[in-house]
A = this chain, B = another copy of it.
Amino acid sequence: MSLELRRRLFDELDRLVLIDPHTHINPLSPASTTLADILGYHYYTELAHSAGLAKERIEDPKLGPKEKVGLLVENLGPLDNTIQYSWLVELCQAFFGLGEDRLDKSNWEGVYDRAAKKMAERDWSQQVLKQTKLQSVFLTNDFDDPLAGFDTKTYIPCLRTDDLVFHLAKPEVRARLAKATGIEAGDAASLRKAIGALFTHFLARNARACAISLPPDFAPQPVSSREADAAIGTIVSSGIETNDAARRTAANYVFWTLAEHCAEHKLPFDLMIGVNRAVYRAGVYQGQDLYDSRVSLIQYRELFNAFPRVVFPISVLASVTNQELTSYAWIFPNVVAHGHWWYSNTPAFIEHDLAARLEAIPRTKQIGYYSDMYKLEFALPKFAMFKRILAKVLAERFVIDRNWSEARAVEFGHQVLRGNVETTFGVS
């Protein structure tokens, strides 16, 4: 009974046309060109490396795309249990005619060739969007992205600010800022002005969010202009030799200034909390980051209090932070729970975290899922995974445990899948 119920709920959830509120899509090349773009996703390279494949082989610059796919496919055996592998199989089934439930040396070449042919079609990315029932996706744009050459209704800009907050001491970051804005940011006032210019640029091109990923030890606080001036002065004069205190002050100043601009422009500020970069230094590209789960949203109390009119869609990297996210979204009007991020984007954690959110956060304040994808083909299996779990939780914890009607459960599911993306980010 429960399995049929889950299936019925899934089918209803699956009818919906979606907006993906966080991806890393390149709007100038949104879909893959060969299966190497699919297999090159860090999940496959890092898991294959973790299971024993040398980084030097994976990242051998002499490998052509087909060779690379061959190399990886023949090393997927040790990870064929993972949910990430299941995304690969499901997308190859959906898009490239894979008939089996494995991609292995017996069948990958046929898939590779069929994929190459499909991907070469001029409207391939539109085909993927259509088959995925995906209306539009949010991007992750460098602050100096010209945001030109694409339809910003389908590919919605989002101002990513990690570089500005955490890497301002790098001369190249300041050079990019100067080039993008025409402003040499040498003190607090000019830096604020430059940030304002970025917002103007992004807003003119339909940006619907500002975003940043944050390390576990970050605890934002306001900084006086005087302190900011001194810190920025140090950064300008010392560059990458800048001491930690000045870096921290500058980071706080930039972060707080971003929040002020979000308030002014009514732009949501996505916070992705908890990542430590380059923990495994010898890891493959994008396969080096991990985390310290000892982080608390209490570190953000002053931010949430100071900016009551900024909506903060918040992602947490570790499932142990999910209860805090649930509680903070339940209490703070400006905190919204946002998807299931990275190391928490596997079924056991999603199920646990989602169940807690659905029953304790107002239904208007939780965004079910985003794909975080780099290539469009991944939205289909990732959202399918989420919708199956959502159907399971709604079936078991609402229809069965709480006697909800199926219609009510579906309506709630639709809201967290799509409705809240619309209301939170002002898209439709």
A interface residues, Cβ below 8 angstroms from B: 3, 46-47, 49-52, 78-84, 86, 101, 276, 279-283, 287-294, 296-298, 301, 304-305, 308, 318-321, 323-324, 326-333, 343-344, 346-349, 352, 355-356, 358-365, 388, 392, 397, 400-403, 412
Q: Interface residues of A: mostly helix, strand, loop or mixed?
A: helix
Contact B363 A79 (CB under 8 A): yes
Complex-state Cα separation, A283 to B301, whole angstroms:
12
Contact B50 A331 (CB under 8 A): yes
Nearest CB in chain B to that of A331: its residue: B280
Complex-state Cα separation, A332 to B46, whole angstroms:
9
Known: A46-B331, A81-B363, A290-B297. 18 other contacts (CB 8 A): A50-B330, A50-B362, A79-B362, A81-B359, A82-B362, A280-B304, A280-B332, A281-B305, A282-B305, A293-B296, A293-B320, A294-B294, A294-B296, A323-B343, A343-B360, A346-B356, A346-B359, A346-B360
Which of B290, B326, B362, B397 is A78 in contact with, Cβ under 8 Å? B362
Give the one of A289, A318, A324, A388 with max B CB within 10 A. Answer: A324
Contact A348 B282 (CB under 8 A): no
The smallest C-beta distance from A223 to any residue of chain B, in angstroms, reads 20
Contact B329 A80 (CB under 8 A): no
Which of B84, B292, B402 is A86 in contact with, Cβ under 8 Å? B402
Complex-state Cα separation, A78 to B308, whole angstroms:
19
Instruction: List, sorted by A's number, 26 A–B pairs whose CB atoms are closer than 8 Å.
Output: A46-B330, A47-B362, A49-B333, A50-B362, A52-B333, A78-B364, A78-B365, A81-B358, A81-B362, A82-B359, A82-B360, A86-B402, A279-B298, A280-B305, A283-B331, A289-B331, A290-B297, A290-B298, A290-B327, A291-B324, A292-B296, A293-B296, A293-B321, A319-B323, A320-B320, A326-B343
Contact A347 B290 (CB under 8 A): no
Contact A356 B348 (CB under 8 A): yes
Q: Inside 8 A of A3's CB, which chain B residues have their CB?
A: 400
Q: Inside 8 A of A46's CB, which chain B residues have their CB?
A: 330-331
Complex-state Cα separation, A289 to B78, whole angstroms:
37
Q: Inside 8 A of A344's CB, which chain B residues have their CB?
A: 323
The smallest C-beta distance from A380 to any residue of chain B, in angstroms, reads 16
Q: Inside 8 A of A332's CB, which chain B residues have their CB?
A: 50, 280, 283
Nearest CB in chain B to that of A300: its residue: B279
Complex-state Cα separation, A270 to B191, whole angstroms:
51
Complex-state Cα separation, A95 to B122, whole angstroms:
65
Q: Inside 8 A of A80's CB, which chain B residues have their CB?
A: 363
Which of B324, B343, B401 is A293 in contact with, Cβ under 8 Å? B324
Q: Inside 8 A of A52's CB, which chain B residues have their CB?
A: 333, 364
Give the one of A304, A327, A362 with max B CB within 10 A. Answer: A362
Contact A348 B359 (CB under 8 A): yes
Q: Inside 8 A of A288's CB, which chain B residues have their CB?
A: 331
Contact B402 A333 (CB under 8 A): no
Nearest CB in chain B to that of A403: its residue: B101
The smallest C-beta distance from A222 to any residue of chain B, in angstroms, reads 15
Nearest CB in chain B to that of A358: its residue: B81
Q: Inside 8 A of A348's CB, which chain B residues have their CB?
A: 352, 355-356, 359, 397
Contact A343 B327 (CB under 8 A): yes
Q: Inside 8 A of A47's CB, which chain B residues have their CB?
A: 330, 362
Nearest CB in chain B to that of A412: its residue: B81
Which of B83, B294, B298, B308 is A291 in contact with, Cβ under 8 Å? B298
